[in-house]
A and B are shown apart, each in its own frame.
Chain A
Amino acid sequence: MAGAGQPNDGLRSLSLSGHVGFDTLPDQLVNKSIKQGFCFNILCIGETGSGKSTLINSLFNTSFDDSVSTHFHPNVRLKAQRYELHESNVRLKLTVVSTVGFGDQINKEDSYQPIVDYIDAQFEAYLQEELKIKRSIFNYHDTRIHVCLYIISPTGHSLKTLDLLTMKSLDSKVNIIPLIGKADSISKTELQQFKRKLITELVSNGIQIYQFPTDDEVVSQINTIMNGHLPFAVVGSTEVVKIGNKMVKARQYPWGIVQVENENHCDFVKLREMLICTNMEDLIEQTHTRHYELYRRCRLQEMGFRDIDPENKPVSLQEAYEAKRRKFYLELQRREEETRQKFVQRVKEKEAVLKEAEQRIQAKFEHLMLMHQEEKLKLEKKRKALEEEIALFNMKKANAELLQTQPMVSTPISLKREKDRKNSSFT
């Protein structure tokens, strides 16, 4: 197998006259990766009760305490759990995302959208990090989903419509490995038929499932065989049963014991082999170089970037970005102008209203002034009248006093009578 590119990229091949030592390069690389640790993210889709949690527990030999799910979730949710597993000197940051409530709703139209959204969100987060100016992509915790284990119900008939729709919407975004869950409920012959039927259906619907890579001589043979066994019929169990003198993971029935790790009983061992021991690296690489790149291409094009402009000349992202920026600023300016004009308009209107109010108040004021004037005049008149009366009264008083001082002999009675007469003329 040639190295970088086709036969030596047209470069001369030299032979070494002694030991140089760069054969340690893979070790140097591996040591660095070990220091950094590895990330692996699994998405597990399956109806409630299809055996997802048990399968994960069996695969990773753990017993995560999960409470048993109910069937009454109003919509499909995703539940993510993160673990750090150590084995010899390998640190693996494992994330398992499971669907909750998948297939339970009466109306399943929105069942797969949350899953698609979740996968896209992880791609988006990575893309955003990659596009940052100051980025730290080499110690970025990768949350992109590397493999999707799709658990098909062991009906023995065919794929459900929900399965078809979900897998169709995911096959270009993630590596799908279809599994038949709770495979101990199907007999061996039925299983072969079922598998064939499933593969035919997948192919005829154009659903691309993950194929184990066959280009490397070392693993191509085993991978080809395994590809022929898809979908894997799995059984999971966290309970152990004593068989002979060994404790094995198994499910005990009155009619026998189904051993999880017995290849005659189910394909669990094949799944573990393929998923973890042989192809984990390839799954990660496919996710990055195929699925992520596709997402990135679509997303960038969506955002309006392209590699070649209308004149078919290559456009640099920088130029495209500049063009976008200019457009954006123009838009901003336009909006600013619009807002400003609106503001001016509003101000004018308000001014008119206020002016009108002012005029009304002015009129009112003048009217009041007028009334005030009139009142004043009236009061003036009254005052005058009153003053005249007072003057008259004073005059009469003066006269009366004058008359009083004159006739001193008048009988008191006659005076009194005079007084009375005078007084009565006043009343």
Chain B
Amino acid sequence: LCAGPVENKNEAAMSELVPESRQKPVVPMKPVGINANLLGYIGIDTIIEQMRKKTMKTGFDFNIMVVGQSGLGKSTLVNTLFKSQVSRKSSGWNREEKIPKTVEIKAIGHVIEEGGVKMKLTVIDTPGFGDQINNENCWEPIEKYINEQYEKFLKEEVNIARKKRIPDTRVHCCLYFISPTGHSLRPLDLEFMKHLSKVVNIIPVIAKADTMTLEEKTEFKQRVRKELEVNGIEFYPQKEFDEDLEDKTENDKIRQESMPFAVVGSDKEYQVNGKRVLGRKTPWGIIEVENLTHCEFALLRDFVIRTHLQDLKEVTHNIHYETYRAKRLNDNGGLPPMTSETEENHESNL
């Protein structure tokens, strides 16, 4: 039990455009670094329980986007991640159906519950990405969708009478599926990630990793990491947002060794060694999805869901959203068709 010194809070700067601010009464705030001897138990650590109870009551929102060419197993992977049919697999396009001219954005929401925790999960699918002959700028509809969600949130936030809980449709995590060519990243991959890593948390995954041997996998991963670095693409977890040394060491390990995760997805169960496991059955054996020696699905799952889910949301809210907001409030030249103002820069919102 100990106490420590406290720093002074800085007063918020007032903009010239706000008419006469209320006079702040003179309150002598001496920060006291007191040798407070705490004798006996007070009970302030119960606030943890109070907070936990509150969050269980309100539930969580999570919005995950999957991007990649068709046939890379996106839907299967998401279904495997959340152990339920959250994403409907597209059965490809037959002759009668037209291939979509542009990338579509399909968001489907479900409510899932586990251990008393309720989660509203929204899976945002992007059929048509990378499937056309000419894929120039096919990331634009995606970027537009992401920014539209930020815009929606911003509009709610600046309302005078605003909702108690602003509905959060912002994309918290974007899984980008890399084709397991074994060579290197494709130009489309680089273009997409370059543009979008600035607005959303991107987690690159190597899809259908059961087509590579262990050596091929390691080499490919190294090459991909190098290419991402050379192109200045900061995928999640971004280095600059590591909060402390503990975070940094943990995240460094993930960034430099595990990512991008080489995954295999499946929703079929097979009997292996007396246990029922999710896997893919091939003539040469059963690939166990959750077996770390077979693929890195379990690492991805633990990373996204069990350890960093809250952090994904917080980085989206505290950094990506704030960046969008600051830019939006600053330039007004913004995205069509949301704004039509043309004004010079100004210091603050009000």
Contact = CB atoms under 8 A, between A and B. Distances in A.
Interface of A: 1-4, 8-9, 11-30, 32-35, 38, 59-64, 77-90, 92-93, 97, 114, 117-118, 120-121, 124-125, 128-129, 131-135, 138, 141, 143, 216, 218, 272-273, 276-282, 285, 289, 293, 296-297, 300-301, 303, 305-307, 316-319, 321-322, 324-325, 328
Contact of B348 (A23, A131, A285, A328): A131
A321 B328 CA distance: 13
B258 to A, nearest CB: 17
A81 B47 CA distance: 21
B135 interface: no
B161 interface: yes
A90 B339 contact: no
A87 B38 contact: yes
B52 to A, nearest CB: 5
A128 B83 contact: no
A89 B45 contact: yes
A77 B99 CA distance: 73
Contacts of A307: 159-161
A318 to B, nearest CB: 7
B275 interface: no
Contacts of A81: 30, 32
Contacts of B155: 316
A80 B44 contact: no
A21 B21 contact: no
Interface footprint category on B: 35 or more
B110 A316 contact: no
A131 B349 contact: yes
B14 interface: yes
A276 B4 CA distance: 21
Nearest to B2: A86
A12 B31 CA distance: 52
Given A26-B55, A30-B55, 16 more contacts: A13-B112, A14-B112, A21-B306, A32-B310, A62-B36, A62-B38, A80-B27, A90-B47, A92-B47, A125-B9, A133-B326, A133-B330, A276-B47, A293-B162, A300-B160, A322-B343
A3 B38 CA distance: 39
A134 B46 CA distance: 34
A84 B2 CA distance: 8
A85 B164 contact: no
Contact of A85 (B3, B46, B116, B159): B3
Contacts of B337: none
Contact of A13 (B4, B110, B165): B110
Contacts of A131: 348-350
A23 B55 contact: no
B45 A87 contact: yes
B110 A12 contact: yes
Interface stretch (B56-64, B136-144, B190-198): B56-64
Contacts of B1: 86-87
A64 B34 contact: yes
A305 B159 CA distance: 9
Contacts of B56: 26
Interface in B194-239: none
A25 B83 contact: no
A25 B61 contact: no
